[in-house]
Structure 1
Amino acid sequence: MSYQVRIAETDHAFDVDDGESVIDAAMRAGLMLPYSCRGGTCGTCMGDVVEGRIAYPDGLPPAIDGDQDEAGKALFCQARATSDLVIRVGEVRDAGDIRPQRLPARVERVEDCAPDVRRVFLKLPRDKRLAFLPGQYIDFLLRGGQRRSFSLANTPHDDELLELHIRHLPGGLFSGYVFNDMKEGALLRFEGPLGNFFLRDDSDRPMILIGGGTGFSPVKGIVEQALHTGVKRPMHIYWGARARPDLYLDALPREWEAQHSNIAYTPVLSDPAAEDEWSGSTGFVHEQVVRDHPDLSGFDVYMSGPPPMINAAKTAFAEAGLPADRLFYDSFEAAPETR
């Protein structure tokens, strides 16, 4: 059995399954409602039930009292619909709608996926969750007030663990720790989410998504969110790297391309080694984009990676007709080490 939930004063509606929380159903439909702990203890997700009925699986959660419940307030991370609903709650439509948090996290798992790239998976305390938009990043808080920034590679609907792709930079303070000393179970502190790099859902234009090096990480989150919410817009993914081993998750976008007719994938190597036996595209990734799409006037473009790639691409894409307000990017500044 399922019920319909409509958000008052908007044209947004979604279905919620019997026993499913309103927050989880909204996220499944591609809508982001405010939340933090996902456990009923913080009150961030509180809103109003305008019409209909809800129930809580384990009684009133800690962050709501009987008077608020009687007045029609609800914690939507715990509320289960028992009829069709009309609710009033603020939607997260922009990065500015999410308040960054400072949180601890433990290293749950580390995977080597290239000689100089690791996937690091973080687990938050049991009563905490991080609300974020796919493509945003977090800052690790280090001693002496230093910070190191890394993009989130997972999606809000799959947030049990936070996924980061970390490249080992020579002399890098934090990346050196990650590769030489960090163990599973290590405790880290971070602030996030941060940044304005995320998928805009107010367009029906085809998308070009470009990752340079570990700039693939936020692209991964954006694409997986788009697939989860059923986005049908054409998506052409480009991954620029130096040599074949730098395409450290190459099988994943190839799988997307094979399984979804609206996805194309083009890896581009700038300096392939002889042992790579590379027969694909070569050169700079932004140049390949323009070769494939000489007229960019009808596209939205998302790109993340090192500043030289971003700066060169901005010029080339403008010359190919891309309006400035349809280019969304995250420049991985390398001072003194980057995400």
Structure 2
Amino acid sequence: MSSAESTAPDTAHQITVQPSGRSFQTPAGQAILAAAIGSGIGLPYGCKDGACGSCKCRKLSGSVEHGPHQQKALSDAEEAAGFILTCCARPLTDVVIESRQVTDESSYPIRKLPVRVAQLQRLSHDAMQLRLQLPAADTFRYHAGQYIEFILKDGARRAYSMANAPHTLQAGAPAVELHIRHMPGGRFTDHVFGALKEKDILRIEGPFGSFFLREDSDKPLVLLASGTGFAPLKALIEHMQHKGITRPAVLYWGGRRPRDLYLDAWVRERLQDMPQLRYVPVVSDALPEDGWTGRTGFVHQAVLDDFADLSGHQVYACGAPVVVEAARDSYSAQRGLPPEEFFADAFTSEADKHGA
């Protein structure tokens, strides 16, 4: 093959992942992440839209061209230092990347399914629990912590994490649980809080995401959530309880007001059966009428206040991008957390994805 052919963007290229040595082909014009998912190679990722930075990894060799992405996900300095976003990087040559979070997700194929709305239940003033009945229990498998995407009529998509662990899918009426926060003016959430009703049919695709418990470690866990970022952590807690995982864990859940901690009672019930689990609710903007006497401030800061050293921990963080980014940066820089032990699922809205 000539050098001109090897750098053509319309040519398929081989991607090799180190240190595992696994490789796959990227078809012409396709981003590295999309090809990895199609090949059953579980690279880390979140939004798939160049907004969250979860798929960022180091390029060891080769050339890529990036599609549109946000500076907060990959800065010019990071790109110059050899980092790429696999979700929007298209290879121009064969490429070798470094990713230590490669997992085998081949047993959980990505499927498109029709689902029926089984239940709509208000959890708070702006949070809705949506239960979606699956066609059958054996048609959909996933890791606790992963997410699905709704496929809207015009092909647009909206992503939401599943809030129940896989073992909770009942054979007779298997259903996944979602926690949806109302974003006024948001096309999909306005529909959920306004027109959606039980027995409506929706289309989903999944499972997606690399956010799930790494069970090959015995390190103590810090679970960090803001708002409805609690959803995938609820699934993780259910999974830990079901599997008898006794690693010490502490859940920090933050909201603006106490009502934003919409399943506070559920968490406290789990504490009765899981002595290894601690719970630290944090409220940033309580009003006098709330009568709040617990921790105040930003939830990621509460972890910094409580831990002088995170070098021996794993952190699983979910919620608003600003919270996840602040936690990622400060825990590594100030508390010694190894970057590869920070697992995140930033909840990027459509406005986030477009830099609005």
Say whether the fold is shared (TM-score over 0.5).
yes
Tell me the residue number matched to 1:284.
298
Which of 332, 335, 339 is matched with 2:350 structurally? Answer: 335
Query: Cα distance 1:324–1:97, how it changes in 2: closer, same or farther (>3 A)?
Result: farther
Tell me the residue number matched to 1:118.
128
Tell me the residue number matched to 1:64.
none
Report deviation, 1:238.
0.8
Work out which of the two has the higher radius of gyration on C-alpha atoms and give 1 or 2: 1
**Once the two structures are superposed, what CA deviation does each residue of 1:221-268 show, in whole Å capped at 9, x if it has no partner?**
001101100001001011011101101000011112233210100010
Tell me the residue number matched to 1:151.
161
Report deviation, 1:207.
0.4
Q: Distance in 1 between matches of 2:181 and 2:278?
A: 26
Q: Distance in 1 between matches of 2:343 and 2:282?
A: 20
**Once the two structures are superposed, what CA deviation does each residue of 1:133-181 show, in whole Å capped at 9, x if it has no partner?**
0000000000221000000001111122100000110101111000000
Unaligned runs of 5+ in 1: 1-92
Which of 250, 254, 259 is matched with 2:268 structurally? Answer: 254
Which of 301, 314, 322 is matched with 1:300 structurally? Answer: 314
Q: Distance in 2 between matches of 1:116 and 1:334?
A: 15
Tell me the residue number matched to 1:320.
335
Tell me the residue number matched to 1:236.
250
Which residue identity does 1:279 align to in structure 2?
A: T
Tell me the residue number matched to 1:227.
241
Q: Distance in 2 between matches of 1:137 and 1:325?
A: 21
Secondary structure class of the residue paired with 1:178: helix
Secondary structure class of the residue paired with 1:265: strand
Q: Does 1:213 align with 2:215?
A: no
Secondary structure class of the residue paired with 1:267: strand
Q: How many residues align?
A: 247
Matches within 5 A, 1:44-55: none
Q: Distance in 2 between matches of 1:127 and 1:210?
A: 30
Q: Distance in 1 between matches of 2:104 and 2:166?
A: 14
Q: Distance in 2 between matches of 1:145 and 1:337?
A: 19
Which residue identity does 2:239 align to in structure 1?
A: Q
8 Å contact from structure 1 (residues 152, 163) kept in 2: yes
Unaligned runs of 5+ in 2: 1-102
Which residue identity does 2:122 align to in structure 1?
A: D
TM-score normalised by the chain length of structure 2: 0.67
**Once the two structures are superposed, what CA deviation does each residue of 1:18-50 show, in whole Å capped at 9, x if it has no partner?**
xxxxxxxxxxxxxxxxxxxxxxxxxxxxxxxxx
Secondary structure class of the residue paired with 1:114: coil
Q: Distance in 1 between matches of 2:225 and 2:106?
A: 24
Moved over 4 A (4+): none
Q: Does 1:103 align with 2:113?
A: yes
Q: Distance in 2 between matches of 1:134 and 1:181?
A: 29
Which of 172, 185, 204 is matched with 1:190 structurally? Answer: 204
Q: Distance in 2 between matches of 1:229 and 1:309?
A: 29
Tell me the residue number matched to 1:10.
none
Tell me the residue number matched to 1:265.
279
Q: Does 1:180 align with 2:190?
A: no
